Amino acid sequence: MTQAPHYPMYIDGEWVDAAERFEIIDPATDELVATTAKGIVADADRAVAAALRAHRRGDWRNMSPDERAAIMSRIVERLNEKMDELVDLHIAENGVTRKQAMAFHVGYSISHLQYFADLARTYEFEHTGPVLSYPTSAVGVVRREPIGVVAGIVPWNFPLLLAVWKLGPALAAGNCIVLKPDEKTPLTLLELAKAADEAGLPPGVLNIVTGPGETVGARLAAHPDVRKVAFTGSTAVGKEISKLAAENVKKVTLELGGKGPNIVLADADIEQAVDGALFAFCLYAGQACESGTRLLLPESRYDEFMDRLTARAAQIRVGDPNDFDTDMGPIISSEQKQRIEHYIELGQKEGATLAFGGKPLTGEQFEQGNWVGPTILGDVDNSMTVAQEEIFGPVLVVIKYKTVAEAIAIANDTEYGLSAGVWSVDIDAALDVARQIESGTVWINDWHMVNALYPFGGYKQSGNGRELGPHALDEYTEQKFVHIDLARKRENKVFDMMLPEYGE
């Protein structure tokens, strides 16, 4: 029997082990995939100290943006060379299907890192402002400078991609970073560290500490030498990170939970909207914060839509994520599976109708691993728990509405505001709805189309700040105004408003 590989941490350009280990378990088979070092608070402190030394040393921040971009592009080249390996690791550690790993989890990660490398070349790190004439002649220069040490705390669902969303702008802006992956899915981030090392990234600029969120993650959020925290995860944990970061007034970017409303207008192309609704809540078994988990249907089309929706859901192939024909794989852990099953049961107790799924999957392949099939709850009222709380699984709640105004009100009746969708053949009508929805992203006739060229983030308790887009580096820089006097002569200045003239 082949022994599972072991991955140490990456700190200050070196591979660092720990006394204890995490076991990485395949969620489809319950088999051991690998072990990783189980870091402790002292490892977090060591990583931050390494990042701070690197920042003060200045060999990264003092490079020209083009030089930084060149090294980032070399990391992209290494990741492209490792594409198949990264896909295999993603499937093994978090159960994503092969076709989704290739397109989204790994494919997007590599292309988004290249986007940030390109952005480093074009971002306006310094510009001259307007000439000032009052009270004296002067001109201003506005600079964008790196913050210093950044901590990125990354969840298990899209570990490599969401690490890139933090690593990419941090490096492009000239910062040094400490990344903490979720203990269930650290492998692709550690492979990223290998790629960065091979590409010539200076020691200490990137550090990866594998450890529990309650200790290592909390220490990074509170550490006085960390000047910026970027976190993706649950709203509850995001609130705790905000509290810890507030102790020394860090910059914070939070991308948190969601309960995405998916509004089908009465004129929608029903075939497209049905597939879009399934895609919205079943991609990666619904384990994405921006999933479309609340489907809002006009009463006039409710029965027709539900008939087609459930018939199409029956065609989704759940099974081995390594099989390219599989549409949906397992749930990340047994704990998450139990949580999802609890919500399915709770929804029915609250009065929802089990329209599809909701039962244990049968067959030999489902005897090991963590499995929940697509589940649709009909006749849901938006006040129900299943319509308000994030389930984080392949569970869709379906809500009827009478008027478009009512649909918009229902869509906004939530503490979340991360994602939303509108389906209509009338783009102007869909845009009118989109403008009224309190959400950081609204897709029209589509879902999950996150693009590096556009900002991503949430309203309300879905977070603050934005990742991606042309202004992504703003979150990882400090603005500095430099005043340059043009008057030059003493008599042209305003010193006399508090100083006596010479000779008095």
Q: Among all residues, which ones are annotated catalytic?
A: 255, 289
* Contact indicator for 256, 234 with CB cutoff of 8 Å: yes
CB proximity list for 192: less than 8 A, separation 6 or greater:
75, 79, 160, 163, 164, 167, 208
Could you tell me where the beta strands, DSSP code E, fall in 280-430?
A: 294-298, 353-356, 375-378, 395-401, 419-423
* Contact indicator for 316, 278 with CB cutoff of 8 Å: yes
**What is the C-alpha separation between 36 and 6, in angstroms, rounded?**
6
CB proximity list for 12: less than 8 A, separation 6 or greater:
46, 47, 50, 53, 54, 203, 204, 207
Could you tell me where the beta strands, DSSP code E, fall in 372-413?
A: 375-378, 395-401
**What is the C-alpha separation between 288 and 254, in angstroms, rounded?**
15
Could you tell me where the beta strands, DSSP code E, fall in 3-119?
A: 6-7, 9-11, 14-16, 21-25, 32-37
Burial class (CB in 10 A: 0-12, 13-18, 19+), 496: exposed
Beta bridge partners of 396: 376
Neighbours of 500 (CB within 10 A): 8
**What is the C-alpha separation between 232 and 174, in angstroms, rounded?**
22
Q: Reading across the β-sheet that carries 441-444, which strands appear in turn?
A: 353-356, 375-378, 395-401, 294-298, 261-264, 419-423, 441-444
* Backbone φ, ψ for residue 267 (5° rounding): -95, 10
CB proximity list for 126: less than 8 A, separation 6 or greater:
141, 142, 143, 144
